[in-house]
Amino acid sequence: MPNDSHVAVRNARDMLQDARHIAVLTGAGMSAQSGVPTYRDAQTGLWEKYSPEQLATPEAMANQPNLVWSWMLYQARLMRSVEPHEGHKILGAWQQELNNSGGSLEIITQNIDDLHERSNAEVLSHLHGTTFTFRCFECDVPANYELPPATPEQLAATPELDQLVLEDPPACTACTHGFIRPDIVMFGEMLPQQAMDDALRAVRDADVALVVGTSNIVQPAATLPLAASAAGAQVIEINPKMTPLSEDADISIQGTAREILPELYP
């Protein structure tokens, strides 16, 4: 259940000092402090302003591939333009330290950016895919496509849809009729099974599950802390707000990833 913040941080640090295998589950709140918009926050959330059905479903991409591709490119360029914060960097250093000593820190993320990777961390499981890998919309073959650098004009402001400069998605080189798409999970699609299997294995093998910046309402990711607890792991939550997990976590710390993770690093 929630604790006084100072006491909670001290107890969490003690708990983590003894842990040899840590599973870290990160959500939108982890990336928000680097400047990546969350999805449903009032006014700033992407899907508070734009319809997911119009921009992020397979049906939308089939019907208007240039609109969906151009909007996803805008998001990818925005993600690439921001920098990892101190919390990301701590996880990268912590992972390397544990790996070098025979332990493990496995990162499972719901985020589609590459901020963990740019902090020298290896991500075990991108549950919702990643904006920076691509595959064919028709034949699913991976595509060797590199995101072009963004110009300042492309990042000046969140565009209205009728202001987007539309770009056609590149053609697939593996088939004769397809075009490529980011390898992300669109609304209405299933999570990649291997990513979920890897995540479940990691939380079940963990001594401690660290749940950072996630609302704990999006399924099936919200089941992972419960699976960790059921397998005997202690669960630490970091979030500025209470979530459905807060009462069940062993320790719940109300704070941001950027503020709290450096305090927890042993």
The catalytic residues are 128
Taking the C-alpha atoms of residue 236 and residue 8, their distance in angstroms, rounded to an integer, is 9
Taking the C-alpha atoms of residue 197 and residue 132, their distance in angstroms, rounded to an integer, is 22
Contact 125, 199 (CB under 8 A): yes
Query: Computed over its alpha carbons, how large is the radius of gyration of the chain?
Result: 19
| Amino acid identity at 78 | L
User: DSSP code of 23?
Assistant: E
Taking the C-alpha atoms of residue 42 and residue 49, their distance in angstroms, rounded to an integer, is 9
Q: Which two tokens stand for residue 238?
A: 């970091």
Closest CA to 215 of 180, 245, 191: 245
